[in-house]
Amino acid sequence: MSSRPPTEPKRPSVWSTASLRYAAAFSVLFGLGAAVMIAGVDYGLMRFAEAEVRDGLNHQMDVMRADANRHGTAQLVQELNAEARNRDARRYLLLVEAPDGRTFSNGLTRLAVNETGFRRNLPNKARPARWPDQTPNMLTLSARASDGGLLAVGRDIQHLDELRGGIRRYALMSGIVLILLALAGGWFAGRLFLRRLEDVNQAVGRIIAGQDSARLPAVGLGREFNELSANLNRMLDRQEAALTTLKTLSEGVAHELRAPLSRVRHRLEDLAANLDDAKAREAAVERALEETDQVSALFEALLTLARIESDDAALQTERLDLAALAATVADIYSPFVEEAGGRLIIALAPTGTIEADPALLQQALANLIENAVFHGGGQIEVSTTSEGGRAIIRIADHGPGVPETERDKVLRRFYRLDQGASDHTSGAGLGLAMVAAVARAHGGELRLDDNQPGLAVELALPLTTAKA
C-alpha cells in the first residue's frame, strides 16, 4: 500500500489574520458610529439653522404687520413700491396684497404662500442659477393685517440644503478614507505579525524536530508578546533541564543495574549447575539475595532523593541540636568504621538549635561517614561548630581526596571518580548527591574542601536560636 508523504501545513494568509479582522470590525463599527454622529449633527445643525430663519421671518413679519396696522395695507404697498429699487430681494422676498387689489411683490408669488403660517416650498427642477427663480427652495410666512390685507415674507433656504449636502459629502469621503486607512493598517499589521510569527513557528518546528536547545525569538510586537515569549522560553529551559536529568537518571540506573543483574544471573546459573550440592546451592542463593538487596537499596536511594528534590516535598521538621545528632550517628557508625580498619575521632562543640527533618539529616550524616570509609579509610574526624548564624558539621578523611575541578561533579547523581581497580569505588554515586539535596531542602549548603590529604566535607544549616 502506497503512502503519501506528509505535506507541510498551509501558511496562513494575511486575509485570515486577526489584526485584519479586527481592523475590518473596527471599520464597520467606526462607520456605524460616524453615520449616527453625522446624522445627529446634521439634524441638530439643520434644526438650528431653520430656527434662525424662522426667527428672522417672524421679526420681518412683525415689522410689516406693525406698518400695515398703523397706516393700512394700501399705504404699505405704495411705500414698498417706492423703495423696491433699494431693497435687497436676495435676503427677503415680500408679498403684500391690499384689499383694494393693489399688490407688491419682489419675487414672491401668491401660490408660494398660505393664508397664514409657515410654508416650505421646494423647487420643481434643478436650479440653473441662484437668481432669478420663480419657484425657489424657500420658507415663507404669511399673515393678515387688521384691514384684511395679505402680508407674506419668504427667505431662500437653498444655502441650508447646500450646507447639508456639503456636510454629508465631507462625512462620506472622510469615512471612506478612514475605513481604507484602517483596512490598510490592518493589512500591514497582519503582514508584520505573520512575518514575526513565522520565526516563532520555525523555532517551534526545530523544537518539535528534537532540537531541545532551540528557543523562541522575541516577537517584538509589544511588551506582552515579548513577556509571553520569555515565559515560554523559561518553561522550555525547565523542560530541557528535566529531560536532561531524566536522561542522566535513566542512563545511571541502567548502568548501575547491569552489574548486579549480571551477577544475579551468574549466581542462578551456579545454582542450576549445583542443584545436588546443598552447600553450593545455599551459597549461590545467599549471594543472589545480596545482589537483589543492592538493587533494592539503589531504588530506595533514588526514591528518597526524588522525594527530597521534589518542590512540594513536606519535611517533617523539628527543633534539634546538630551536635547531639552527630554524636548519635557517630556512636552508631563507630563499630562500622573500626571493622573497616579505621578510627572515628569525635570533636563536637555546641552549635545551637536548628530546624530540620531528623530522619533525613541522620541519613545524610550516615552517607558522609560511609563515603569517608569507602573512599578515604583510616582516620575519620567528625566535628561540629557554629559560624555566621549556621551550625556546621565537618567530616574529614585522609584518603586520596577529590581534585578541585571534580568537586562540583561528584555532587551529581551516579558520578564517581575514576579510582582504577580500587575497592573503594563501592556505591552507586548517590551519597553526596543525596547529602547536597538534603542541605538545599533545609536552606543550607554542602561544601567540599581539601583536608591535605583527603577530603573534608562541611554541611552548614541555618540556626534557629543563638548558641547556648
Question: CATH number of the domain that 236 lies in?
Answer: 1.10.287.130
Residue 13 lies in a domain: no
Which pLDDT tens digit goes with each residue over 43-77? Answer: 787 788 888 888 988 998 898 889 888 888 888 88
Which pLDDT tens digit goes with each residue over 353-371? Answer: 888 888 888 888 888 888 8
The burial of 190, by beta-carbon neighbours within 10 Å (0-12 exposed, 13-18 middle, 19 or more buried), is given as buried
Q: Are residues 254 and 373 in the same domain?
A: no
pLDDT band at 12 (very low <50, low <70, confident <90, very high): low
Q: Are residues 34 and 86 in the same domain?
A: yes
| pLDDT computed for residue 128 by the predictor | 47
Residue 292 lies in a domain: yes
Q: Are residues 370 and 457 in the same domain?
A: yes
| pLDDT computed for residue 151 by the predictor | 92
Residue 168 lies in a domain: no
Which pLDDT tens digit goes with each residue over 368-382? Answer: 888 888 877 678 888
The answer, yes or no, to whether residue 37 has pLDDT greater than 50, is yes
- Residue 345's domain comprises 318-418+425-462
Q: Are residues 290 and 325 in the same domain?
A: no
Which pLDDT tens digit goes with each residue over 160-194? Answer: 777 777 877 887 787 788 778 777 777 777 777 77
pLDDT band at 199 (very low <50, low <70, confident <90, very high): confident
CB count, 10 Å around CB of 347?
Answer: 10
Residue 181 lies in a domain: no
Alpha carbon distance 82, 96 (integer Å)? 14
Q: Are residues 278 and 335 in the same domain?
A: no
Number of domains making up the chain: 3
pLDDT band at 257 (very low <50, low <70, confident <90, very high): low
Q: Are residues 301 and 334 in the same domain?
A: no
Q: Are residues 304 and 334 in the same domain?
A: no
The answer, yes or no, to whether residue 124 has pLDDT greater than 80, is no
| pLDDT computed for residue 431 by the predictor | 74
Which pLDDT tens digit goes with each residue over 340-351? Answer: 888 888 888 888
Q: Measured between alpha carbons, how far apart are the two ends of the chain, in Å? A: 83
The strand ranges marked E within 254-377 are: 318-321, 343-348, 353-356
Of 293, 297, 290, residue with least CA distance to 430: 297
**Residue that wins the pLDDT comparison between 266 and 40:** 40
Residue 178 lies in a domain: no
| pLDDT computed for residue 2 by the predictor | 45
Domain-terminating residue out of 162, 188, 210? 162
pTM (2 d.p.): 0.47
Domain-terminating residue out of 140, 162, 184? 162
Residue 305 lies in a domain: yes
Backbone torsion region of residue 107, taken as left when φ is above 0, otherwise alpha when ψ lies between -120 and 50, otherwise beta? left
| pLDDT computed for residue 13 by the predictor | 59
pLDDT band at 235 (very low <50, low <70, confident <90, very high): confident
Q: Are residues 101 and 150 in the same domain?
A: yes
Q: Are residues 455 and 338 in the same domain?
A: yes
Residue 276 lies in a domain: yes
Q: Are residues 131 and 236 in the same domain?
A: no
For the chain, give the percent of residues with pLDDT over 90: 2
Which pLDDT tens digit goes with each residue over 410-437? Answer: 777 667 665 443 343 455 567 788 888 8
Cβ neighbors of 396 (< 8 A, separation 6 or more) are 372, 380, 381, 451, 454, 455, 456, 457
Question: CATH number of the domain that 438 lies in?
Answer: 3.30.565.10
Q: Are residues 301 and 343 in the same domain?
A: no
The answer, yes or no, to whether residue 152 has pLDDT greater than 80, is yes
Q: Are residues 326 and 289 in the same domain?
A: no
The answer, yes or no, to whether residue 272 has pLDDT greater than 50, is yes
pLDDT band at 398 (very low <50, low <70, confident <90, very high): confident
Provide mean pLDDT across the span 449-456. 85
- Position of cell 416650498? 121
The answer, yes or no, to whether residue 210 has pLDDT greater than 80, is no
Domain-terminating residue out of 256, 282, 309? 309
Residue 385 lies in a domain: yes
